């Protein structure tokens, strides 16, 4: 397993924690495909799943915090937009055959981004939720 969920990653919102676990699972599926020497198909599936699920998760998370007094809404949404753009550009790079050490670089970057985003950025909206068990 490339990335594991750990309790310190919980934002205290069950549905968001479940969605974060799904994002980790998508990344782990790519890792499994690479280990199985199925890189091309693994990346095809990864980009389809990651782009679609990020759209879903980011929209859901934004809907939750937009109804609060969370002061960093714009910066948080911008971080989501930046990640979506990164995924789209990475998919384009893959489709153009510019891989080299790309899958490993992609995985290391995404793991770092995801951990940081959950533990730093997402944790900032938690105190503004009126009902933490949404």
Dump pLDDT digits (tens) for 40-84: 899 999 999 999 999 999 999 999 999 899 999 999 999 999 999
Q: How far apart are CA 76 and CA 57, in angstroms?
A: 13
Instruction: Decide which of 1.20.120.50, 3.40.30.10, 3.90.400.10, 1.10.3720.10 is the CATH code for 10-127.
Output: 1.20.120.50
Using alpha carbons, select from 34, 31, 6, 40 the residue that is nearest to residue 21: 6
Domain ranges, ordered by start, for the chain: 10-127
Per-residue pLDDT at 132? 44
Q: How far apart are CA 9 and CA 87, in angstroms?
A: 22
Burial 104-123 (b: 16+ CB within 10 A, else e): eebbeebbeebeebbeeebe
Q: Phi, psi (5° rounding) for residue 14?
A: -50, -45
């Amino acid at each position: 397993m490339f990335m594991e969920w750990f309790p310190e990653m919980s934002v205290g919102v069950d549905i968001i924690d479940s969605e974060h676990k799904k994002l980790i699972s998508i990344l782990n599926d790519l890792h499994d495909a690479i280990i199985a020497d199925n890189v091309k198909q693994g990346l095809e599936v990864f980009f389809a799943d990651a782009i679609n699920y990020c759209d879903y998760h980011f929209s859901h998370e934004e809907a939750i915090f937009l109804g609060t007094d969370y002061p960093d809404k714009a910066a948080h949404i911008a971080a989501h937009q930046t990640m979506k753009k990164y995924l789209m550009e990475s998919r384009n790079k893959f489709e153009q055959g510019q891989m080299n050490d790309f899958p490993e670089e992609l995985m290391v970057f995404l793991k770092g981004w995801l951990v940081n985003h959950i533990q730093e950025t997402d944790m900032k909206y938690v105190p503004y939720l009126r009902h933490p068990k949404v």
